[in-house]
Amino acid sequence: MRAYLGYAMMMAVEINVLVDPEFEGCLDAGWLEGIAGEALTAAGAAAGAELGLVITGGERVRRLNRDYRGRDEPTDVLAFFMLPGPEEESPPFVSPPDGLRHLGEVIISYPQAIKQAGEHGHSIKRELTILIIHGVLHLLGYDDEEPEPRRLMSVKEGEILKHIEGSPGADPG
């Protein structure tokens, strides 16, 4: 909450969803926004947070993976965070005028999500939910490169998925 002219108001969550034109008919941007909001809420990070969620093609995600992670291979989800990591100092900048914490961008390969949904025997909505949760946790500082942090991230993903699947209207399939 923040005080404004003597009144308390809840700081909103802002989620900007961009679905590439080739997938617009396949996905409901409002549903994607709701899932990302639920993931932030379940992670305890919704108040005053902003993130971008991009649903795109496999080749675009592969290029980003190559250019930014040095891995020339397909992947399902990438997260580009704007907050400093735990070992980094925060820059001495003033807070943005909108008061939101700009977490970063989650980018999901829709074709890879379809493939993985089939491999795991569940719906595309459930797979997208899992990938959104995974990307949001990366934006919040979770890591999956080493065994112990990967285990902690996996436990948190399971908790958030359970929360979302129990939420009315979430329909993760």
91: confidence class by pLDDT, cuts 50, 70, 90: low
Model pLDDT for residues 3-57, shown as the tens digit of each residue: 333 323 345 789 999 999 999 999 999 999 999 999 999 999 878 889 999 999 9
pTM for this prediction = 0.85
Domain hosting 70: range is 13-85+99-165
Question: Does a structural domain hold residue 53?
Answer: yes
Q: CATH code at 148?
A: 3.40.390.30
Name the 3-class secondary structure at 159: helix
Question: Does a structural domain hold residue 171?
Answer: no
Question: Does a structural domain hold residue 3?
Answer: no
Beta strands in the chain (DSSP E): 2-4, 7-9, 14-19, 49-56, 77-81, 101-109
Question: Does a structural domain hold residue 32?
Answer: yes
Model pLDDT for residues 92-142, shown as the tens digit of each residue: 555 555 667 889 999 999 999 999 999 999 999 999 999 999 999 999 999
Question: Does a structural domain hold residue 66?
Answer: yes
Question: Does a structural domain hold residue 68?
Answer: yes
Q: How many structural domains is the chain composed of?
A: 1
Predicted pLDDT of residue 81? 86
Question: Does a structural domain hold residue 4?
Answer: no
